Amino acid sequence: MEQNMQQYLFIDFEFTMPEGKGKPAGFYPEIIEVGFVSVIDDGLGDQFSSFVVPDKFSQLTERCKRFLHISQVQVNQGISFVDLVALLKSYDQKCPTKIVTWGNMDMKVLRNNCQRAGVEFPFTGEQIDLSMEYKRFFGDQNQTGLWKAVQAYGKEGTGRHHRALDDAMTTYNIFKLVEKDKSYMKNHQPTTIGDRIDWSKVLNKLVL
């Protein structure tokens, strides 16, 4: 592992979903698409996109296919979940890595899927929920959706919403915008009342 480098991995997953609002017995969301972007020392690195074959509920519901605009054939041609975990682990082992997602569902589902598949969770570094960072920075009461957040900057999301790589790239773009704002705020502290008042004049008046 290269200790001198710092890697960020911007990740988005898409999941299976039940047909209706109620969950069938034993149902749990499984990863069926992955997209990620690696950034090492502020340089854009690899981009990866693939469908993932679900282990438990292999047949997609009509609701899932309709919502994500994907087909059963596409998912059937994806990589296995075990291969996905191995790939993610290989990136984690390259150098110290921070994982960035929009929301906390991606890591929750990944951890749950790993437990059910009997494989080790692939990440060892810090996991950052950028939606919470965004919420705290702007003082929002509610969490903001990914594409609504980027539109608040006067930008548009990359590609199509709810496609994993497009959402991962959009997350990366928001991250850069928020970090730029943080840097600006840090270097441009607001003036205090003491900066705006000439205290020598005030003291002279009081003495007189």
Instruction: Choose, from 14, 156, 161, 188, the residue flagged as catalytic.
Output: 14
**For this structure, is 14 an active site residue?**
yes
Interval 136-148 mean pLDDT: 79
Q: What torsion, rounded to 10 degrees, do the Cα atoms 140, 145, 147, 148 define?
A: -40
For the segment 28-76, what is each residue's pLDDT rounded down to a tens digit? 999 999 999 999 988 899 999 999 999 999 999 999 999 999 999 999 9
> Residue 140 has which token pair?
């929002």
Q: Quote the CA–CA distance of 36 and 102 in Å, as a whole number.
A: 12
Q: How far apart are CA 157 and CA 149, in angstroms?
A: 9
Give 113 or 186, the one with higher predicted confidence. Answer: 113
Q: What CATH number does the domain containing 86 carry? A: 3.30.420.10
User: At residue 205, does pLDDT exceed 70?
Assistant: no
Quickly state the pLDDT bin for 198 (edges 50, 70, 90). low
Please pick, among 2, 162, 179, 188, the residue that the annotation labels catalytic. 162
Q: What pLDDT does 197 receive?
A: 54
Total count of domains within the chain = 1
Q: Per the domain annotation, does 2 fall within a domain?
A: no
Q: Residue 131: which domain range?
A: 7-207
Asked if 19 is an active-site residue, the reply is: no
Note whether residue 1 is domain-resident.
Answer: no
DSSP string for 144-182: PPHHHHHHHTT---SS-TT-HHHHHHHHHHHHHHHHHHH
- Mean pLDDT over 78-105 rounds to 96
Domain-located, residue 53: yes
